[in-house]
Amino acid sequence: MRRDAVIPRGDLRLAGRLVTPEQKGPFPCVLFVHGLGSDRDSPRNVVIAERLIGHGIAALLFDLSGHGQSDPDPTGCAGSAADVTAAFGWARSQPELDPRSIGVAGSSLGGVLALEALATGGIEPAAMVLRAPPVMAGELRNIRVPTLVIIGSADPLLWGVQAAAEDVRTVRLEVVQGAGHLFEEPGALEHASSATVDWFAMHLHPAGALAGR
């Protein structure tokens, strides 16, 4: 099932797309936060979202402010943590989604925006996956939710990401050999997709699975 949606962020409108499995919900859901200059049709995010659907997990893809069909931010910022907070809050209010089982997948700049929203308390995800986030040492230190960080061995951001993930107990680092920043090399996106789906399948649980806990 697929439906387009308008996600309110104050006076701004963010364009979103919710895709759910065919079964009966409520479903766990992954909120995708794309990178700079991309949008909800990011081919990498769409591939991963389709695989999540096959595992009974819904996907919410949306355009950050100033991208795609979303309104521009009056401050001139191309995407902000407030966008992520608004999309996360919208997802929690949807009857077909389990508000206790919402994860966040942020790619590149989207990963940084997700971290900012997490740090301010704007989102409370059950798990996160950050793909090629531009982070440095110390910037993952305060993460309290299970987080998978995926980076290519040929990505110039590798060393900063490795330093940021070092000794953070809630963070698992996955280095995809031979992959660059966009995972365009043969097999790279498949590796990143499988790792992402496995992570969310492990940490997001259908509402029925939580009953009685």
Using the predicted structure, report yes or no on whether residue 170 has a pLDDT greater than 80.
Answer: yes
**Under CATH, to which class is 2-203 assigned?**
alpha beta
What's the rounded mean pLDDT across residues 56-64?
Answer: 97
- The mean pLDDT of the chain is 94
The percent of residues in the chain predicted with pLDDT above 70, rounded, is 96
pTM recorded for the entire structure = 0.93
Q: How far apart are CA 51 and CA 45, in angstroms?
A: 10
Q: What is the pLDDT at residue 24?
A: 87
Position 96 pLDDT exceeds 80: yes
Q: What is the mean pLDDT of residues 107-123?
A: 96
> In the predicted model, is pLDDT for residue 41 greater than 50?
yes
Please determine, for residue 61, whether its predicted confidence score (pLDDT) is greater than 60. Answer: yes
Q: Delimit the domains of the chain by residue range.
A: 2-203
Q: What is the mean pLDDT of residues 61-79?
A: 91
Q: Is the peptide bond before 26 cis (omega within 30 degrees of 0)?
A: yes
Q: Is the pLDDT of residue 207 over 80?
A: no
Q: Is the pLDDT of residue 54 over 80?
A: yes
